[in-house]
């Protein structure tokens, strides 16, 4: 299965001059709903995490306000993540190109991109992040429900209360680590990807450098249409 | 509730030390409940409701004398009835006044993330400060006695205050004042322990309750509410009174090592990406090779 199979041909037709449509409007909207709702849960969650970060609750209004909205915004995050799953699950499947790329990942980290094998629409790192956040969202929402309605868990099943706390905290920490790397790469490290996620387009050069197999596929699709 | 003249020694969710803690030492107050002379009249429940301004809640009939399964946000004090069959086949109707135990090492306070929502006064009373409570329910997970209860309308947690407002003014808690049999006593922890041990001795020597003893669990540092039990080896028979209560290990880890490891990991992550940027910098699209003539690094 090709990595960029899910991109409909019509998107590639949007290629005009040096611009290639990388993310559709729907993909961008869902990404930002997920991103901003995650950010809200991160800030309010950190407020509940440590007394030294409790001031962060003030960013959300107040402690009680943060506590009231955290689970609801968490639900928004989960739903938008499930929606992204619907949009991207085929693109996010691991391919043979990814396995080769994964072996050469140290070159990617060291910006030695010329030593990397060509990849499709997403590279292995992006796929790893996607699946981590997807399963993370499911685990966070399930354990979060336990924390949300902790009093409804009967005393005889109190191990569920303790499990909910442990799982929620552990999963949140793992996603925070991934989130730090994701934000860093999307803004500071891989120039052009933030703009792509806002307006949708990348340059041909960007596509050729970072996602050559995808670039070849979308340009071929366009030229074959002609 | 009233904290005007009470020194605070512990504050929940508080960064840094507690201001003024340790400046004054106060006698530890204690409520003694002698389950062997309780007749289950529920006068203490009425007194508690009256003093704290609550009305009666609906009772649930479940083929026993138990009026409702557990305490509620507006019902802080409940007699737990339990028909207990002894080894010789005889029955005992055990009654235990259930309420906040006012642990010396309170699990609710350890779990609470909100600055000042739970405090411990120098006299040992553990008190919820609803104006600071965010209603997260972490105290529910922290408590080894299942005491904190949530008011879903105000989104605040409530529990017995040991009548901190009365105690501050030199009065005994409302429940103590109402007890007709004298099974409830109030005073300093030392005096109450003394009284309780004497009563337990009496029960052992003169009433044939060879296992009679005092319930003052050390797993939570001792409690501000202690019981005299006919059988101190089986507190579970008195309506789920835990034998050896502790702050749950999960809460201890979560508020201790996990927190510091997590903080370290998050700080490490931030430091890591900064270091990466300083060492390797951004990925640029090679403009010569790819014909990116405007040199915007691939930005369209």
* pLDDT, tens only, B70-127: 999 999 999 999 999 988 899 999 999 999 999 999 999 999 999 999 999 999 999 9
- Which band of pLDDT confidence, cut at 50, 70 and 90, is reported for residue A220? confident
The residue that leads in pLDDT, B254 or B5, is: B254
Structure tokens given for A31: 């990404």
Q: What is the largest CA-CA distance in chain A?
A: 69
CATH code of B259's domain: 1.20.5
Instruction: Provide the residue range defining the domain that includes A143.
Output: 9-37+89-225
Residue A178 lies in a domain: yes
Q: What CATH number did the domain enclosing A138 receive?
A: 1.20.950.20
Same domain, B260 and B138: no
Which tens digit of pLDDT belongs to each residue from B146-188? 999 999 999 999 999 999 999 999 999 999 999 999 999 999 9
B135 and A184 within 8 Å at the Cβ level: the answer is no
Neighboring chain B residues of A177 at a CB cutoff of 8 Å: 265-266, 269
Q: Are residues B146 and B218 in the same domain?
A: yes
Q: ipTM score of the complex?
A: 0.88
Q: Is residue B238 domain-resident?
A: no
For chain B, the C-alpha Rg in angstroms (whole number) is: 26
In chain B, the number of structural domains is 2
Residue A2 predicted with pLDDT over 70: no
B25 with B167, same domain?
Answer: yes
The DSSP H or E segment spanning B91 is strand B91-98
Burial class (CB in 10 A: 0-12, 13-18, 19+), A224: exposed
Question: Given an 8 Å threshold on Cβ–Cβ distance, is B136 in contact with A177?
Answer: no
Chain B neighbours among A 46-85 (CB < 8 Å)? 47-52, 54, 57, 62-64, 66-68
Categorize the per-residue pLDDT at B294 as very low, low, confident or very high, splitting at 50, 70 and 90: very low
Query: Which two three-digit tokens encode residue A93?
Result: 């499947």
Tell me: do B261 and B167 sit in the same domain: no
Q: Per-residue pLDDT averaged across A72-82, rounded?
A: 97
Q: Does A210 touch chain B (CB under 8 A)?
A: yes
Between CA A19 and CA B9 the distance in angstroms is 65
The Cα of A112 is separated from the nearest Cα of chain B by a number of Å equal to 9
pTM of the model: 0.89
Would residue A58 be called left, alpha or beta, if left means φ above 0 and alpha means ψ between -120 and 50 degrees?
A: alpha
Q: Is B156 in the same domain as B269? A: no
Chain A hits for B70, Cβ within 8 Å: 155
Which residues form the domain of B267? 248-283
Q: List CB contacts (< 8 A) between A23 and chain B.
A: none
Answer yes or no: are the C-beta atoms of B61 and B47 closer than 8 Å.
Answer: no
Helices (H), B147-188: 164-168, 174-178
- Shortest CB distance from A147 goes to which of B137, B248, B280? B137
Name the minimum distance, in Å, from the CA of B292 to any CA of chain A: 6
Contact flag B15-A54 (C-beta cutoff 8 Å): yes
Is B262 within a domain? Answer: yes
The pLDDT score that the predictor gives to residue B25 is 82
- Tell whether the model's pLDDT for residue A13 goes beyond 50: no
pLDDT tier, B286 (very low <50, low <70, confident <90, very high otherwise): low
CB contact under 8 A, B300 and A192: yes
pLDDT at A222: 63
């Amino acid at each position: 299965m090709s990595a960029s199979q899910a991109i409909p041909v019509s998107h590639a037709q949007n290629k005009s001059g040096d611009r290639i449509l990388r993310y559709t409007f729907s993909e961008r909207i869902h990404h930002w709903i997920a991103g901003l709702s995650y950010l809200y849960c991160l800030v309010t969650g950190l407020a509940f995490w440590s007394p030294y970060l409790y001031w962060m609750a003030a960013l959300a209004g107040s402690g009680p306000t943060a506590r009231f909205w955290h689970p609801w915004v968490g639900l928004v995050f989960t739903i938008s993540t499930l929606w992204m799953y619907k949009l991207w699950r085929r693109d996010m499947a691991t391919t043979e190109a990814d396995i080769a790329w994964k072996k050469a990942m140290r070159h990617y980290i060291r910006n030695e991109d010329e030593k990397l094998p060509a990849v499709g629409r997403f590279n292995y790192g992006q796929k790893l992040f996607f699946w981590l956040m997807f399963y993370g969202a499911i685990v966070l929402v399930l354990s979060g429900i336990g924390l949300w309605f902790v009093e409804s868990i009967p005393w005889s099943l109190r191990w569920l209360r303790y499990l909910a706390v442990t799982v929620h905290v552990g999963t949140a920490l793992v996603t925070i680590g991934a989130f730090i790397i994701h934000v860093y790469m999307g803004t500071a490290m891989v120039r052009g990807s933030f703009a792509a996620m806002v307006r949708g387009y990348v340059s041909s050069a960007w596509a050729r450098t970072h996602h050559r197999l995808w670039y070849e596929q979308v340009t071929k699709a366009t030229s074959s249409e002609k | 509730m009233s904290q005007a003249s009470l020194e605070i020694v512990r504050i929940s969710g508080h960064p840094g030390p507690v201001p003024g803690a340790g400046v004054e030492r106060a006698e530890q107050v204690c409520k003694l409940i002698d389950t062997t002379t309780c007749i289950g009249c529920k006068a203490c429940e009425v007194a508690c409701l009256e003093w704290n301004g609550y009305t009666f809640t609906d009772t649930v009939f479940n083929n026993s004398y138990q009026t409702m399964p557990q305490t509620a946000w507006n019902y802080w004090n409940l007699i737990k009835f339990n028909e207990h069959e002894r080894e010789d086949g005889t029955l005992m109707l055990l009654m235990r006044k259930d309420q906040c135990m006012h642990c010396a090492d309170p699990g609710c306070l350890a779990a609470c993330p909100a600055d000042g929502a739970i405090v411990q006064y120098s006299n040992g009373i553990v008190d919820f400060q609803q104006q600071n409570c965010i209603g997260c329910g972490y105290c529910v997970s922290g408590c080894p006695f299942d005491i904190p209860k949530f008011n879903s309308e105000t989104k605040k947690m409530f529990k017995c205050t040991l009548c901190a407002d009365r105690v501050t003014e030199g009065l005994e808690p409302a429940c103590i004042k109402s007890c007709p049999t004298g099974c409830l006593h109030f005073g300093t922890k030392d005096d109450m322990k003394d009284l309780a041990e004497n009563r337990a001795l009496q029960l052992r020597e003169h009433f044939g309750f060879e296992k009679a003893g005092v319930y003052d669990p050390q797993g939570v540092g001792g409690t501000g509410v202690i019981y005299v039990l006919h059988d101190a080896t089986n507190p579970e028979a008195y309506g789920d009174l835990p034998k050896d209560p502790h702050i749950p290990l999960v809460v201890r880890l979560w508020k201790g090592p996990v927190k510091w490891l997590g903080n370290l990991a998050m700080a490490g992550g931030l430091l890591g990406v900064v270091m990466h940027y300083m060492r390797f910098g951004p990925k640029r699209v090679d403009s010569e090779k790819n014909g990116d003539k405007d040199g915007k690094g691939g930005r369209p």
